[in-house]
Each structure stands twice: as C-alpha cells, then as structure tokens.
C-alpha cells in the first residue's frame, strides 16, 4: 500500500478533526500515517460519522498511526557540549519511504526536535554550522544531497519535508550550504556537481519574471514601478495551513482582503511565522501584508545564489553563463542598496512595492547585507551602531524592536541571528560587538541548560530568568539550530 498522504485527499475528515480540536496540537493530524487506503478510510467515515454513538477521536485513532513528538531525557545534566554531541545522533532521522505526509529523502538528516520531526530547509544550514564544529562532514554532505534531491524532484526545497509544504519553500540557503561544504572538504568540485541544482532553484525563485509589467508581482517576483526586479516570499496556496488550520480560520474572520491565507503562508516561507514585520498596523495579524513586500533577507540570499552561479559557471568555463549571473548579481547589489537601505534610520528595511516606500518595521534581517558582504563600510558601521543600541540585550539579539506576543518579535532571541550578527560584525571589523553578541546569547543558552537540561528553540533576551514564549505553540526543546549555532560560536 502507498502510504503517502495529501491532506486534500481526506479533507472532510481532516476539517472535522481540526475543528473539533481532538488533539491539543493541530500539527498532530497533519503528521498522521494512514493505516488503510485513503479511499477506504474516507468511505468508512462517510458511512459511520452520523451513526449513533460515533466517536471521532476513536475513529481517527483506529485508522491512523501517530508518531508524535520525541522528548529527550537524561538522568544527569551533562556538560553542554557533550549533550549536543549526543543530540546529533538522537535527532538523526531517516525517511527512505513516503509515509503519511512525510516525504522520503535519500540520506539521513537532522530534525530540529520537539514537535518538529521532519527535515526543515533553513534550519538545516544552522544545524550544519554545528556539524562542522563537531567534525561531522558526512552529515553535512547528507543534508546537501537531500536538498539537491528535493530541488531536482520538486524544483525547490519545501519549507519542510511534508506533502502539505509543497506550495512554499524557505529562505534559499542551498548556495550557502555549498560554501560550508566546500570549506569543510577543501574542494570546489561540488560547485560543478550541483550546478544544475543551483540553476533549478534560481529558476524557481525567478519564475514569472518574463511576463511582468512594471508595478506588478507574480509568484515570487516583483517588478517595481521603475522596472527593477526584486523578490518576495510567496505561497501558491490560499487556504488555511493544515498544521495551524483552526488558528488560521479564526484569524481570517476579522481579516481584510481576499488573500489572508496566502499572506499567512507567504510569511511562513520566510521562516518568520509570525512577526510585526509583516503587519500593516505593526501590531495585529489580521493586517498581514507579506505579499506587498520585497524583503532584504531574501534578496541578499538571491544575490549570493547569483554570485555562486557565476562562480560555478567560471569553474566550468561557461563564459556566457558567468557573464549572465555576474550581471544579475551586480544589478541586485545596487538594488539592495537602492530599495532597502534607510539612510536616516541607519538600518535596512523591507520595501512595500504597493506603497513605493520602506516598511516601518525595524528588524534583525538588517544583518544580511553585513553577513554576506553586500553593505559598504559606512553602512556596516551605521548598522553596527543600530544593532548595539536597539537590538542587543543581556540575553542576545532580539528580532524586532516591537513587542506583540508574536514569537518573531521582541523579546525573543533566535539562534540564526546570533550567528549572522556575530559573523557579520566580525566581517566588518566590529570585533567587540561580535563578541558581545556571542557571549550574551551563549550565556543565556547555558543558563537555561543548567536550569532545565534542555536546549530551546528560542530564548528571552530581556528577562534572562525566564524561558521565551509567544507564538502558536509552546517553546520546543531539542533544538537543531540552537545546538549548531552554540557549538559554532564557542569554536570562534
């Protein structure tokens, strides 16, 4: 029996289960594995659901298998580095078959932990930093190979390796993953090996560019009123997210606009679900307008992808391709400066192409031009002062300067941006600030670990006596990218 499950195949049953809230976490049903053919389950459900004494929970438990989240417990609290070394093995999964909504992958991979028991795209880059520090080069190769497999089979790396994520990706880190692998192996041959994969991912992000008129957007591409090409996050579906189904339906009741669900999903493609960064009123999710925005982080990552394609073309003496991608990269570098740099506020902001202006949100994605080397020395100095003055707290770098209860807002500090901050500041010579970022966050991680024996998904940067909160689900322990960034920072 083929155990692959697409949520739309069981839509009436799925809708009833999620609305009835028979599981505390709406992700539980999306991760279910059918014990019988979907056709058979649907038929049985229609035949029995209106019978006297029918119990929905009992029906679901009899027809699906549930793996659930995996908790990791130790008898004694080990030194933190030893704990992480053990975690690498405990968080390693294999998926050699399509099972339920889980997509098969050719190689083993590392999951974030807690409720997240599948492969995630941008998480994996920050996991790889720690694998490099641990000398686990084979697993770095596995992750690159899995991403390549997904790009070759689906045209992109999905948000995570489940069927209901086949409508969106996440921040495109594959070219940066190749840099990390090349650094770990001392070989540049892999840029040739994965050349077609790089091209395929680039085509995914640029799909629709040719048909665009000025001041319009299609899929992930925006053409400004001036005729310049930028990119945005996007999702091809405009329906409630299966993993947060009822939450989306309830939020949509008071939302304006026909594409509320797509705006929600598009924010998920950024990895920032959710933040005041996406809200027109800077406060409430009902005003979400992700689709109107070109984002500084995405455009910097695509600049890196264009540069990597130029480099990979040069290695193969593909002169025309090298010239093409070099031109694209140089053009985008200028556009990043033109559309995202706010000279008055000394910060990079997102660009609202509908309003032809910057968004008002101050957020930590301003680090990307420094991390990737796009910023000028003057811009980097200005950003360093903004970071030190507005974003750095006792427990690390916060993501925004606004507190809304959303998990990607103040007061939370997330692992990826501690690394981007540290490495970005080091790149431009702000060594003291880099070390402050590293020490503040690592101390916070160590404090929570010593108190709980766990590494968390996110941390409270302001109140270092408490654990972070906010968002649609409880704080998770495991935790892939925290482990990775902590080890990498301690090595530097």
Quote the mean pLDDT of the chain: 96
Q: Span 135-163, mean pLDDT?
A: 98
Residue 76: its pLDDT value, please?
84
Residue 2: its pLDDT value, please?
64
Task: Please check the confidence at residue 285 and state whether its pLDDT lies above 90.
Answer: yes
Residue 434: its pLDDT value, please?
98
Give the pLDDT confidence of 290-313 residue by residue, as tens digits.
999 999 999 999 999 999 999 999
What does the block give as tokens for 414? 């997330």
Task: Please check the confidence at residue 232 and state whether its pLDDT lies above 70.
Answer: yes
- What CA–CA distance (Å, rounded) separates 229 from 334? 11
Task: Please check the confidence at residue 262 and state whether its pLDDT lies above 70.
Answer: yes
Residue 265: its pLDDT value, please?
98
Q: Span 43-58, mean pLDDT?
A: 97
Q: Span 106-135, mean pLDDT?
A: 97
Q: For residue 141, what pLDDT band results from cuts at 50, 70 and 90? A: very high
Question: Looking at 201, 269, 273, 297, which residue is catalytic?
Answer: 273
Tell me the C-alpha to C-alpha distance, in Å, between residue 100 and each of 31, 32, 152, 472.
7, 6, 22, 23
76 is catalytic: no
Read out DSSP for 285-346?
GGGB-GGGEE-HHHHHHHHHHHHHHHHHHHHTT-HHHHHHHHHHHHHHHHHHHHHHEETTTT
Cβ partners under 8 Å of residue 55, min gap 6: none
Question: Looking at 306, 362, 457, 477, which residue is catalytic?
Answer: 457
pLDDT > 90: percent of the chain: 91
Give the pLDDT confidence of 426-484 residue by residue, as tens digits.
999 999 999 999 999 999 999 999 999 999 999 999 988 887 787 777 778 889 999 99
- What CA–CA distance (Å, rounded) separates 459 from 394? 11
Report cis status (omega within 30 of 0) of the bond before 339.
no
Task: Please check the confidence at residue 1 and state whether its pLDDT lies above 60.
Answer: no
248 is catalytic: no
Q: Span 396-423, mean pLDDT?
A: 98
């Amino acid at each position: 029996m083929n155990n692959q499950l697409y949520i739309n195949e069981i839509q009436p049953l799925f809708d009833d289960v999620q609305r009835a809230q028979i599981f505390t976490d709406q992700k539980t049903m999306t991760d279910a594995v059918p014990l019988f053919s979907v056709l058979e389950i649907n038929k049985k459900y229609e035949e029995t659901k209106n019978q006297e004494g029918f119990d929905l929970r009992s029906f679901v438990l009899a027809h699906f298998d549930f793996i659930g989240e995996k908790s990791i417990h130790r008898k004694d609290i080990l030194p933190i580095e030893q704990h992480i070394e053990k975690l690498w093995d405990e968080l390693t999964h294999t998926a050699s078959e399509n099972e339920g909504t889980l997509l098969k992958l050719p190689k083993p991979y590392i999951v974030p932990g807690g409720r997240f028991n599948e492969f995630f795209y941008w998480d994996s880059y920050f996991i790889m930093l720690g694998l490099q520090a641990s000398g686990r080069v084979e697993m770095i190769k596995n992750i690159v190979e899995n991403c390549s497999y997904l790009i070759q089979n689906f045209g992109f790396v999905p948000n995570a390796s489940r069927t209901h994520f086949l409508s969106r990706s996440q921040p495109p880190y594959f070219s940066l993953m190749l840099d990390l692998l090349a650094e770990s192996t001392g070989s540049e041959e892999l840029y040739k090996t994965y050349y077609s994969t790089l091209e395929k991912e680039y085509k995914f992000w640029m799909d629709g560019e040719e048909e665009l008129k000025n001041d319009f957007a299609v899929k992930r591409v925006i053409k400004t009123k001036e005729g310049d090409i930028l990119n945005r996050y996007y999702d091809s579906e405009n329906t409630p997210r299966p993993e947060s189904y009822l939450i989306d339906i309830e939020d949509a009741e008071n939302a304006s606009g026909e594409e509320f669900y797509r705006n929600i999903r598009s924010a998920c493609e950024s990895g920032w679900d959710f933040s005041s960064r996406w809200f027109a009123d800077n406060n409430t999710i009902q005003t979400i307008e992700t689709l109107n925005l070109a984002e500084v982080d995405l455009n910097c990552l695509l600049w890196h992808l264009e540069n990597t394609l130029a480099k990979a073309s040069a290695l193969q003496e593909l002169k025309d391709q090298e010239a093409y991608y070099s031109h694209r990269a140089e053009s985008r570098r200028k556009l990043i400066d033109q559309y995202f740099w706010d000279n008055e506020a000394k910060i990079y902001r997102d660009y609202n192409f509908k309003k032809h202006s910057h968004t008002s949100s101050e957020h930590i994605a301003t680090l990307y031009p420094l991390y990737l080397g796009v910023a000028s020395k003057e811009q980097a100095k200005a950003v360093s002062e903004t970071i030190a003055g507005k974003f750095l707290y006792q427990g690390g770098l916060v993501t925004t300067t606004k507190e809304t209860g959303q998990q990607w807002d103040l007061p939370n500090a997330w692992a990826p941006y501690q690394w981007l901050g540290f490495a970005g500041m080091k790149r431009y010579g702000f060594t003291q600030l880099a070390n402050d970022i590293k020490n503040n966050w690592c101390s916070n991680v160590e404090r929570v670990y010593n108190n709980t024996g766990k590494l968390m998904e996110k941390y409270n940067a302001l109140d270092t006596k408490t654990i972070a909160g906010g968002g649609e689900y409880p704080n998770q322990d495991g935790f892939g990218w925290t482990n990775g960034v902590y080890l990498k920072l301690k090595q530097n």
